[in-house]
Amino acid sequence: MKIVLDGMGGDHGPQVTVLGAVNAVKEYDVNVIITGDKERIEKELSKYDYPKDKIEIIHCDEEITNEDKPVQAIRRKKNSSMVVGINLVKEKKADAVISAGNTGALLAGGLLLLGRIEGIDRPALAPVYPTLKGISVLIDGGANADSKPRNFLEFGIMGSIYATKVLKINKPKVCIANIGIEETKGNDVSKEAYQLFKTAPFNFTGNVEARDIPAGHADVIVCDGFTGNVILKLTEGVAGAILSSLKVEFTRTFFTKIGALILKPGLVNFKKTFDYTEYGGAPFLGVNGALIKAHGSSDAKAIKNAIRQAKLFVENGVLEDILREIKVLGEDNVD
């Protein structure tokens, strides 16, 4: 299996992507193609010991930055590490592509270069959401700000397949993120989606209130990309605010510092529970190819895990399953 990694993507570039790739090829049965500045990538590679035949470099003399406008960047920077990477998947020269670069550009690249799976109206981002019970998947994490009930149905199907095949959750509970558990609660879109979900080909267990998301009530959280983005970023913001105010309390006096020292291993454990780097990145589900967005601030571990995730994605036939389910759904609608 060949996985392409955008070597230039992310806050740290080749320094982090290359180490992630090196660790991945040592640990998993995969080959990695790194796209980007050959000289810089080779320099990083030279620091490590690894099976040389499992990493290949494809030189690209352009780079898409976070300041680039998504669609323009994809159209104009044809020799960028990101565009070259996506095109390798398009041309079936690789099985999956991963990038920690400009999110908007990567989504635009997925839509423009790979295209949508037949029958899918809106591809969606499906990041993992760590909970007290383990992990859930949130879909849409921010690819579409406005969505229709039919899109929610697609999100539910794709999220459920991904949760089953890649996250290995058995019969994932699919819920609509909503402001009440009753089917009459919510905005127009969520109420209509509820009705569609009643006969959907997945384990729909009703609405989930935002309050119950961190506790892990839902395995697949379905919402529009606006709400999804708010959920992801607010979780980050609340956790950050709590930790920073705890820090103030814990460093207030000599005694509290000792208390904090005793609790340090516990705090480390706690941080691990909510550590996104464990889970790789967010697949862009619904495009015609395996495309994974890694977090911009990914470290080498996150990149390695994204490669593992891409491998699971491909070998478990996530794309084929989505294609099949959407086709069945289309046929049902004809009846």
127 binds a second copy (CB under 8 A): no
The span from the CA of 209 to the CA of 207, in Å, is 7
If residue 320 lies in a helix (H) or strand (E), which one and from where to where? helix 318-334
By CB under 8 A, tell whether 177 contacts a second copy.
Answer: yes
Task: Determine the residue type at 69.
Answer: K
Q: How many residues make up the chain in this entry?
A: 335
Nearest C-alpha neighbor of 201 from the set 183, 187, 223, 220: 220
**Residue with Cβ nearer a second copy (7 or 141):** 141
* Least spacing, CB of residue 157 vs a second copy, in Å: 23
Binding of residue 245 to a second copy (CB under 8 A): yes
User: Counting contacts by CB under 8 A, is residue 210 touching a second copy?
Assistant: yes
Q: Does 266 sit near a second copy (CB under 8 A)?
A: yes
Comparison of 28 and 129: residue with beta carbon closer to a second copy: 129
Give every CB contact of residue 231 below 8 A, 6+ residues apart in sequence.
129, 138, 177, 210, 213, 221, 223
Residue 181 touches a second copy, criterion: CB under 8 A? no
Query: Nearer to a second copy by C-beta: 258 or 328?
Result: 258
Number of residues engaging a second copy in binding (CB under 8 A): 56
**Residue 25 beta carbon to a second copy: minimum distance, rounded to whole angstroms:** 34
- From candidates 91, 170, 198, 262, binder to a second copy by CB under 8 A: 262
Stretch that binds a second copy, among 18-26, 78-86, 120-128, 213-221 (CB under 8 A): 213-221
Nearer to a second copy, 112 or 230 (CB): 230
> Does 235 contact a second copy by CB under 8 A?
yes
How far from 57 is each of 33, 39, 123, CA to CA, in Å?
Answer: 6, 10, 29
CB neighbour class for 212 (10 Å; exposed up to 12, middle 13-18, buried from 19): middle
CA angle 150, 100, 104 (to 5 degrees): 45
Cβ 141 to a second copy, closest distance in Å? 10
Of 181, 196, 267, 323, the one binding a second copy by CB under 8 A: 267
CA distance 78 to 90: 14
* Measured distance CA(214)–CA(212) in Å, rounded: 6
Determine, following the binding rule CB under 8 A, whether residue 132 of this chain makes contact with a second copy: yes
Task: Indicate whether 242 belongs to the interface with a second copy (CB under 8 A).
Answer: yes
d(CA 205, CA 197): 9
Q: Write the burial class of residue 80 (CB in 10 Å: 0-12 exposed, 13-18 middle, 19+ buried).
A: buried
Span near a second copy by CB under 8 A; candidates 74-82, 154-162, 183-191, 307-315:
183-191
Residues contributing to the site for a second copy (CB under 8 A) = 131-132, 142, 145-146, 177, 179, 185-188, 190, 209-215, 224-227, 229-242, 244-246, 249-250, 252, 255-256, 258-263, 266-267, 269-270, 273
